[in-house]
Structure 1
C-alpha cells in the first residue's frame, strides 16, 4: 500500500478518504504515466497521464471502440459522463476527438477533489466536472443536446439501480440527438439476471441496441463487465464485430435476434422497484 499523501498536488501513491469510503492510488510499474484508482479495494479507473488513448480495462476498450466508430472519424462530440472516477473515457474522447465538449456528473465531492489534485484534469480541453448525481444532472440537460451519454457509475462495487430504470433511460434518450448513443457499463455474473433486465430496459426505449462482452462473462461463467450501446439510428455493428473478434480485447457482440433471445423473459426495471444490483463475489478483486 502506498504511503498516505500529505500536502502537494500531482500523482502520488496513497490512500485518501472519499464519500464512497477509502480511495487508493497505485502507480503502474510497467507504464510511466499509468495510475490505478481503487475505491474500497475495487479497481474503478486506470489512466495513463502520458497517453490518454491507452485504455487498460477490457470494458473501457470496448467503450472506446464504440466511440471510435461514432459518426465521422475525429469529429468532435458533445458528451455526458455519469460517474467520473478518474475520467478515463473523457480523457480519451478529448484526445481522439479534439474540440469535444464534455461534462462529468460525479456525486462524490472528495473524490472529485482527489482526482483534480492527484490525476489532474485541468489540461483536458472542453471538460467540466459537476458534483451532482447522475439523475439530477441528466434531468437538468436540454432536449437533443448531446451525442453521447455514458453511464459508468458504481457505489460499493455495484451499479446504482436508479441509473438502470426505464424512466432514467428514457430521460437519457431525451437528451440525445437523433444519432446519439447511450453507453452503459453493467457488471454481472452467474446467469446474468440483472444484465438481462438492463438490456430489456434499454430495448424498451431504443430501437437499436447491442451488447458487448468477453465470452466467459456473456455466458455467465464469471463476474465481469458488459457494455450496452443503444441509439435511435443503426449502430456500427459490422465494425464493432470486427474489432471484437480481432482486437486486443477478444469479445462477442449480440444484437438483433441474438440479443432478443438474451433478454427473453426479462422485464424492464421500473422506478420504485425493489431490485438489487449484483455485487462481485469475494474472490473478485480480492475483496474482503
Structure 2
C-alpha cells in the first residue's frame, strides 16, 4: 500500500517517520488507529469503533488481549513440531499471527474479508505474516486436505461469530484441512449459561476426538458475559495459559450443534 490519507486530518503520512494515528475508510465502514498514551509505540486498532487489536510494531511478542494469550496457550500446550503452518481466520491487526510467527518460527497466513482493512494493516503495521483477502469459510473449504497444523478462528460480526463458521459443516471442512493431530482453536463470545459455547462444543465433538475450553472461572461456570476459547483436535489437548481450562465433554448437556 503506497499511501493512505487519514480521513480525520486529510494529510499524507510522511516517510521515513510515517504518522499512522488517524481514522481511515475501509470496505465495511471505518478503522481508527489510536496511540496508547501509556506505552510508547503501542496502538489500538478499532474497527467500526470496536477495539480489535493491540499492536506494537516491531514487537510481535506483545499480546495485550487476554483471549489471544489463551489461544496461544493451547498452541503452546499442543505437541507441534516447529516450524508448523497456521491459518488465522480473522486478521484485524495481525497481533496473534505475528506472535505465533515470532514465537515458533512458523508460517502464518492471516485471512481478512475486508480488503481496505487488510491494506491499512499492511501499510501501518507491516506484520511479518501473509495476509489474504477472503471470506473465512470459503478460504477454509479451499485449503488442501492436511495442509495446515493450526487453524485459528477469531471472526466476529459485532458481538457474534457469523453462523456459517460455527456449524458442523464448517468444522468438517476445518478438520479436513488439518494434518494428523492438528489443532483447531476459536475465540467465542458468550453469555450466562454458555449457550453459544455449548453449541460449538457439541458440533466439534461430532468430528474431533478431544475438545477443551479455557477462560476465567466465572465464564467457565456460566455466570458472566465475555470470551472463552475452545479447542479441538484428534490428539490429546493441553493448555499452557494463565486461566483455568476444562474438558469440553463437561459442557455436553444435550444442546444441539449448529448446522447449515
> What aligned pairs does 1:6-85 form with structure 2 within 5 A after superposition?
6-8=11-13, 10=18, 12-71=20-79, 75-85=82-92
SS in 1 for 2:51: strand
State the Cα distance separating 1:104 from its structure 2 match.
1.7
CA root-mean-square deviation? 1.9
Q: Which residue of 1 aligns with 2:4?
A: none
Equivalents in 1 of 2:221, 2:28: separation in Å? Answer: 31
Indicate the larger mover: 61-70 or 108-117: 61-70
2-structure distance, mates of 1:137, 1:72: 23
Q: 1:93 — aligned with what?
A: 100
Structure 2 distance, partners of 1:235, 1:5, is 50
For residue 235 of structure 1, report the CA deviation from its aligned partner: 1.3
Q: 2: CA distance between counterparts of 1:178 and 1:134?
A: 22
Q: Mark the CA change 1:32 to 1:65 in structure 2 (over 3 Å): closer, same or farther.
A: same
Deviation sequence 1:93-124 (CA, Å, 0-9, x none): 111112x2222221101110111111222xx1
- Give the match for residue 206 of structure 2: 204
Q: Pick one of 226, 232, 249 that aligns with 1:260.
A: 249
Kept in 2: contact 1:211–1:228 (CA 8 A): yes
Q: Given the two structures, how large is their TM-score scaled by the length of structure 1?
A: 0.82
1:174 aligns to what?
176
Partner of 2:120: 114
For normalisation by structure 2, the TM-score amounts to 0.90
Q: 1:219 to 1:6 in 2, by over 3 A?
A: farther
How much does 1:170 deviate?
0.6
SS at match of 2:67: helix
In 1, Cα distance between the equivalents of 2:9 and 2:93?
A: 18
Closer, same or farther: CA 234–25 of 1 in aligned 2, 3 Å:
same
> What is the CA-CA distance between 1:216 and the residue it aligns to?
2.0
Q: Distance in 2 between matches of 1:32 and 1:84?
A: 23
Residue ranges of structure 1 left out of the alignment (5+ in a row): 272-288
- What's the CA shift for 1:162? 0.8
The alignment partner of 1:196 has SS state of helix
Deviations 1:250-288 (A, max 9, x none): x22110xxx3232312111101xxxxxxxxxxxxxxxxx
Q: Is the 8 A contact 1:4 1:16 kept in 2?
A: no
**1:178–1:154 CA distance, 2 compared to 1 (3 A):** same
Q: Contact 1:13 / 1:26 at 8 angstroms: preserved in 2?
A: yes
SS across alignment from 1:76:
coil
Q: Aligned partners of 2:179, 2:80: CA distance in 1, in Å? A: 15
Q: Please give the per-residue CA displacement for 1:169-226, whole angstroms capped at 9, x wherever unaligned.
A: 1100000011110011110112211121011111111111100011122233332111
- 1:220-231 to 2 correspondence within 5 Å? 220-231=222-233
